[in-house]
Amino acid sequence: MITALIVDDEPASRRLLKEALDATEKVELLGEADSGERGLQLIEELHPQIVFLDIQMGELSGLEVARILLEEEDAPLIVFITAHNAYAVDAFELAATDYVVKGLEWTDFAQRIAKTVERLHDKLASAETPELASIREALDKLTQRQVAPATQKLPVKDYDEGTVRLIDPEKVVCIERKERRVVLRTVDHEYPTYFTIERLEQRLAGMRFFRANPGALINLDYVEHLIPNGDGTYDVLLTDMKGDVEGSITVSRSRSKALFELLNL
């Protein structure tokens, strides 16, 4: 049996998909999520082999969820559920993904799901390695032309509440790589993110974030002091809007000049 998870914000669509999957007798449905945020949480908890993702969902779309999942090398296989053929034709002729269009008659929909499950069953049985780089590139292109723009908020893990939060970038003081994690820091909390530093730098391009060193991004709106270390590096003191110190980040020698230019120093 293949293990799967459904992520779709429409109850009727979830019910229809569940019935079609049950009819194949080859899928064990581990759970359902009604939002991208809840989907990420369940995926991390349940580790399904396949995720059926609705593309158009609230603040965190299925495309955004897919991009987050594909940061990991052991990402589940992804099947997109979409009401828009335009999303599918170019982007999903990929080794590790598939798509199903909503709105089909029940018989056609069930047959389409059965073919998808058969294809993915064979893929899992063959242990074929997905071409993750190609999938990421296709998703990046697709996200740029999606009907509803992706949220600018950053999905993070809130271990205190056991949930996924969406954080406004303006509230982020800095982002640091700590051992194997990338941690996002606000004025009152730290959250592990789903992204690499490189992906966050791309995602936050055009905003007030600066790559201080290979493992850190700082929000220029929180920079208070630059303290020279005598070796060409600087410690940047970060404070909140009240002037309370929120920590410091070292700017590498190779990045110091660029920071001075941004700050008109």
Same domain, 56 and 16: yes
- What's residue 46's pLDDT? 94
Going by C-alpha positions, the residue among 116, 18, 8, 102 that lies closest to residue 62 is 8
Q: Give the model confidence (pLDDT) of 134-175 as tens digits.
A: 666 666 666 655 544 456 789 898 877 778 889 999 999 999
Going by C-alpha positions, the residue among 229, 195, 205 that lies closest to residue 68 is 195
Asked whether residue 245 carries a pLDDT value surpassing 80, the answer given is no
Q: C-alpha distances in angstroms, 256 versus 37, 64, 212, 252?
A: 37, 33, 8, 6
- Residue ranges of the alpha helices (H) in the chain? 11-24, 36-46, 62-69, 85-91, 106-126, 132-144, 197-203, 253-262
Same domain, 125 and 178: no
- What's residue 95's pLDDT? 40
Number of domains in the chain: 2
Which CATH number belongs to the domain containing residue 228 in this structure?
2.40.50.1020
Q: Is residue 13 part of a domain?
A: yes
Same domain, 33 and 111: yes
Same domain, 6 and 102: yes
Distance CA 253, CA 236 (A): 13
Ramachandran sector of residue 51 (left: φ over 0; alpha: ψ -120 to 50; beta: rest): beta
Asked whether residue 91 carries a pLDDT value surpassing 90, the answer given is no
Distance CA 195, CA 69 (A): 9
- What's residue 230's pLDDT? 92
Q: Is residue 50 part of a domain?
A: yes
Same domain, 132 and 12: yes
Q: Give the model confidence (pLDDT) of 21-53 as tens digits.
A: 999 999 999 999 999 999 999 998 999 999 999
- What's residue 172's pLDDT? 95
Same domain, 24 and 97: yes
Percentage above 70 pLDDT, the chain = 84
Going by C-alpha positions, the residue among 146, 134, 124 that lies closest to residue 92 is 134
Mean pLDDT, residues 212-237 taken together: 94
Same domain, 133 and 183: no
Same domain, 124 and 179: no
Mean pLDDT, residues 5-20 taken together: 94
Provide the residue range defining the domain that includes 50: 2-144
Q: Is residue 16 part of a domain?
A: yes
Q: Is residue 161 part of a domain?
A: no
Distance CA 253, CA 265 (A): 15
Same domain, 196 and 117: no
- What's residue 227's pLDDT? 93
- What's residue 14's pLDDT? 93
DSSP annotation of 105 reads -
Side chain identity at 213, as an amino acid letter?
N
